[in-house]
Structure 1
């Protein structure tokens, strides 16, 4: 692998990001479409961080900051590039972003069934929060 670069995604990369997530991420979201990804990047141009090697998206994390909470979503690495420190580099960049914005704690959304994901988050120093559960309500049909 040549040099790994961590950078913010651009709106014209929405389709490439979706294709990357389809191959590399577990689970789906109601925002998994070009409009949803483009809206995220337009609202917060620094939120969607990409790891790029040889012009190829090999990793991603959404580092969402709303002024109150620092939330991590879609940490994913291309299967053929795993175990090379890419998730560590992405998390470091996300955590630096949060610290610069005044974030005090980062929260990560992790699927219960994602065994490797849970191990990754634990290895990165994150702990499961037992007191809370996520409650959701779809806003569209």
Structure 2
């Protein structure tokens, strides 16, 4: 079952994120308070997948009024290759369409072979015509990568 994510899902979703090898988690943005702030700003577009009585997938999805963005797209390793990821993507994209958003982007780490293969398989286009830049406003928002 795919449904909207709420803050009540946080502990189970965070536990899932911690299980994903190579997953990068930020100390502030991915805290309960950070996710709560994100969900309040984007109340209908983030999703979770439930199976066997537990959350097995998630997408944080939001928009700025012009473009949607996916963050932390993941499916538990034991539940992959069953359409869960694609179904979550479709659910989130439909939520964005209802809000009149016409384009969605995401960032996948170059070393994330599983994720990059997934996006290519379901028809997303890797952009080679632009550079991605960011600037850290809060140096305490540290990213740690799961080693599992």
* Normalised TM-score (structure 1): 0.89
Residue 70 (structure 1) aligned with residue 68 (structure 2): yes
**Offset of 1:42 from its aligned partner?**
2.0
Instruction: State the partner residue of 2:144.
Output: none
Note the residue ranges of structure 1 that are not aligned, 5 or more in a row.
none
Cα distance between partner residues in 2 of 1:17 and 1:65: 20
- More RCO (CA 8 Å, sep 6+): 2
Per-residue deviation, residues 66-117 of structure 1 (Å, max 9, x unmatched): 2111111111000110111100100111111122211222112111110111
Per-residue displacement from partner, 1:42-82 (whole Å, max 9, x unpaired)? Answer: 22222320001132110111221221111111110001101
**Deviation of residue 32 (structure 1)?**
1.7
- Give runs of aligned pairs for residues 46-65 of structure 1, distance below 5 A: 46-65=44-63
Correspondence for 2:11: 15
What residue ranges of structure 2 are gaps of 5+ in the alignment?
140-148
List structure 1 runs of 4+ shifted beyond 3 angstroms.
none
The size of the alignment, in residue pairs, is 137
Q: TM-score, normalised by structure 2?
A: 0.85
